[in-house]
Amino acid sequence: MTDVSTQLTRLHNDIQAAATACGRDPGGIRLIAVSKTQPLDKLRDAVAAGQTDFGENYLQEALEKITALQNDALVWHFIGPIQSNKTRDIAAHFDWVHSVDRLKIARRLSEQRPDDRPPLNICLQVNISGEDSKSGVAPAEVADLAAQINALPRLHLRGLMAVPAPADTRAAQRQPFARLRELKDELNNHGCALDSLSMGMTGDLEAAIAEGATLVRVGTAIFGKRTR
Ligand SMILES: *Cc1c(COP(=O)(O)O)cnc(C)c1O
């Protein structure tokens, strides 16, 4: 077995254990392999081990990988900051975008989504820890943005995403994830139909699963440390 396939097996076991520990069905948690800065060979190893969902942060690098792998069964998730001049390629080549935090970007993605593809799956990135430097819409503004995005024809608003500030204890890690879950529930009580919570990375996976994560984005635990 390659390193990557060993790590994937271990991670699936961890996800299963975390889900079982809180009474959740592990089948409700989808693993996104975050492959930013990782060489193509490691992605190929992951595909060979059965991994289908990949997360990328940098558009140019992602397009090269998507082209090189030429595999229609793969599901590509854009999870990095989005500049408006990048929306056309993102709309054309990705299946999900997790990092939408303003209407202008959402409008462009909707307008530029090719007609022969299904609506683009969207998660709104929420600045759940309230950090000045972090991207993401403020929790108080999520409802308005969600309502506006729900009206865009070529997008399918699926849920909320967050990258909380690092925390030391499991209990402290859970707080922002719990807030994100509550925010999703509130939106659904007011007319949204969100089915996704994109939260949990290598360091806070168990906490995110305990609070209802449906999409976990894991890089280091699969591919090892990034070199840049
Ligand atoms: C890099 C990245 C990840 C993966 O982080 P790891 O700690 O390597 O698991 C997840 N989400 C986002 C938005 C990232 O940028």
Q: What is the pLDDT of residues 53-108, one digit of tens each?
A: 999 999 999 999 999 999 999 999 999 999 999 999 999 999 999 999 999 999 99
Pocket of ligand 1 (CB under 6 A): 34, 36, 57, 79, 163, 201-203, 217-221
Residue 134, pLDDT > 90, answer no
- 35 CA to middle of ligand 1, Å? 9
| β-pairing verdict for 155-161 and 196-198 | parallel
Instruction: Round to the nearest angstrom and report the end-to-end CA distance of the chain.
Output: 26
- 190 CA to middle of ligand 1, Å? 31
Residue 132's pLDDT is 73
Residue 2's pLDDT is 66
User: Region 157-173: what's the mean pLDDT?
Assistant: 96
Q: pTM of the prediction?
A: 0.97
Residue 1, pLDDT > 60, answer no
* Residue 81 per-residue DSSP state: -
- Report the percent of the chain where pLDDT is more than 90: 95
> Which atom number of ligand 1 is nearest to the Cα of residue 220?
8
- 182 CA to middle of ligand 1, Å? 23
Angle between helices 142-150 and 103-112 in degrees, nearest 10: 20
